[in-house]
Amino acid sequence: MKPLSETVAIVGIGESKVGKVPEKSTLQLQSDAAYAALDDAGLTMQDIDGLITTPIRTEPWNMPCGVVASFLGVQPAYLSTLDLAGASGCAMIHHAAMAVASGQCNTVLCVAGQNLLTNKTRASAVQTMAESGAAHAQFETPYGPLVASNYALIAQRHMYEYGTTAAQMAEVAVTIRGHALLNPNAHMTKPITVQEVLDSPMITSPLKRFDCALVSDGAAAAIVTRADRARDLKQKPVRLLGQGYGLSHSYVGEAPRLTHSGAVESGRKAFAMAGVTHADIDVAQLYDCFTITVIVELEDLGFCKKGEGGAFVQGGRIALGGELPVTTHGGLLSACHPGLGGGFFHVLEGVRQLRGQAQGRQVKDAKLALVHGNGGTIAIHSTLILAA
Amino acid sequence: MTALTPLPSPNPLTEPYWQAAHQRQLKLPRCEACTKFHFYPRSACPHCGCRNLSWHAVSGNGEVYSYTVVYRAPSKSFAPEVPYVVAVVALDEGPHLMTRLTQIAPDDVRIGLRVTVDFRRMDDETTLPLFRRAGWSL
Ligand SMILES: [Zn+2]
């Protein structure tokens, strides 16, 4: 089989309106994203013969890929519901690529998202997430951890081992908020300062309110098709150069080390497959469920040494115009976090940057983008390296 | 103290752990081949792959590997207890586990603090292992 970089391409991307969108159901949000991606590609729903989606938490869906495909009127030769938690966005692209490359189908629609904020209050969304299995039902949930507590355990240990500071974590939130302000479709619209992050309410020490992802409504979609077909479509095709998965544990309580993640493995594989180095990467769309996540990913993906992630995020290095612009659409911290689909917006932003369509937040001459998804508590990882 | 909920529902894989805890004992699975302990329970030893496993008591001693003070409870049932300390304890026998620290002010918790197991009886069937500062008892 020829490499994925020569056989498939991402040809369409689309987002629903995000933030608080009470006028749309989950299916309407997904449908809006799907049609936006089709328009972007210059395709119609009749061209779609494969569909991948993720589970949702706002409604009980028996077979999400069947529900979504049926709603959109797609008769798929390939369909799948995929769940790698926060790593699902990157994994959907890889699965779509494999389905196309194997000849199973020609054109796959990947779509995910839900009305998490409208369907639940922020408080009930937090409870749903805490009880959704991120913590072990028997050995962890009875002790009362939030999802954020699991990441707080990582942050606390990282601070202890490497001297990482609350101000460094705050810098991640501030930088990514700055990026969101340049994204017209972002949930958050006001700037924040490091001091405001540090002064925000303590949720689960050392993580404060602004160290934590949003709860949003929103959906994102992308279309993957055959490379030979991609050439005739509206947009410059974006190729999948490298890809890797990594898994270090399933639950925080059984992780041998909380400061080292499966991103080491997923990154190593993706770079090896792409045949490029870190210096070649122009922009990195890193999963940012919490500020500490970005610091650990920068280290484990190899953009800096272990323990130096805190220093790396300071001084504008991960901001637009810096050495490695990170999560340029505003991420889960400031653009949109509708649950499992959240990491998919990172993929879309990677594509947008490589096409040169990121407008006010465009990274000049971006040729290579790394996109990283993280699921569980830095447990399961999916890395993509995309090329213009 | 108010009840911690939701309580665990033991299954055939985890029953020995919860039965021991209800007898105020901490028992973990141990590999008969390499003699190492592991946790959470599995079908095979994560160290050597051997499937000959049995449950043995551990010392109940260890140290705080990491911790977080929870100020905002995940649900109403935990709300009366905030702030509380959720910790990962590294047992002297090797495995880590998640737990709650008890009988200690949140400000006094440190990584590396020596701790020992304690037990909180929740109802007629369930007892939760917690940890307190070693050498301390109220
Ligand atoms: Zn063994």
Per-10-residue mean pLDDT of chain A, 388 residues long, equals 92 98 97 98 98 94 96 96 97 98 97 93 81 90 96 98 98 98 98 98 98 97 97 96 97 93 98 98 98 98 98 97 98 96 97 98 98 96 97
Asked if B4's CB is within 8 angstroms of A143's CB, the reply is yes
Residue B137 has pLDDT above 60, yes or no: no
Domains along chain A? 4-117+215-230 (3.40.47.10)
Query: Alpha-carbon Rg of chain B, whole angstroms?
Result: 15
Q: Give the burial string for A32-41 (b: 16+ CB within 10 Å, else e).
A: bbbbbbbebb
pLDDT digits (tens, 9 = 90+) for A339-388: 989 999 999 999 999 999 999 999 999 999 999 999 999 999 999 999 99
Q: Rounded to the nearest whole angstrom, what is the distance from the C-alpha of residue A78 to the centroid of ligand 1?
A: 42
| B85 three-state secondary structure | strand
* Amino acid B1: pLDDT: 43
Residue B10 in domain = no
Asked if the structure places residue B124 within a domain, the reply is yes
- Tell me if B21 is assigned to some domain: yes
CB contact under 8 A, A139 and B98: yes
Whether A131 contacts chain B with CB within 8 A = yes
Distance from CA of B117 to the nearest CA of A (A): 14
pLDDT in tens, A269-295: 999 999 999 999 999 999 999 999 999
Does any CB of chain A come closer than 8 Å to the CB of residue B119?
A: no
Nearest to B72 among A204, A251, A258 (CB): A204
Query: Containing domain of residue B62, as a range?
Result: 15-133
Number of domains within chain B:
1
Rounded CA separation A137/B132 (Å): 23
> For residues A180 and A188, is the Cβ–Cβ distance under 8 A?
yes
Residue B32 lies in a domain: yes
Residue B2 has pLDDT above 70, yes or no: no
With 60 as the cut, is the pLDDT of residue B3 above it? no
What's the CA gap between B108 and B120, in Å, rounded? 21
Query: SS3 helix, strand, coil % of chain B, rounded to 5?
Result: 10, 35, 50
Question: Does any domain span residue B104?
Answer: yes
Cross-strand partners of B31: B53
In a domain, B111, yes or no: yes
Interface residue A157 vs chain B (CB under 8 A): yes
The ipTM (two decimal places) reads: 0.95
A137 and B8: CB-CB below 8 Å?
yes
What pLDDT, in 10s, does the model give residues B61-112? 999 999 999 999 999 999 999 999 999 999 999 999 999 999 999 999 999 9
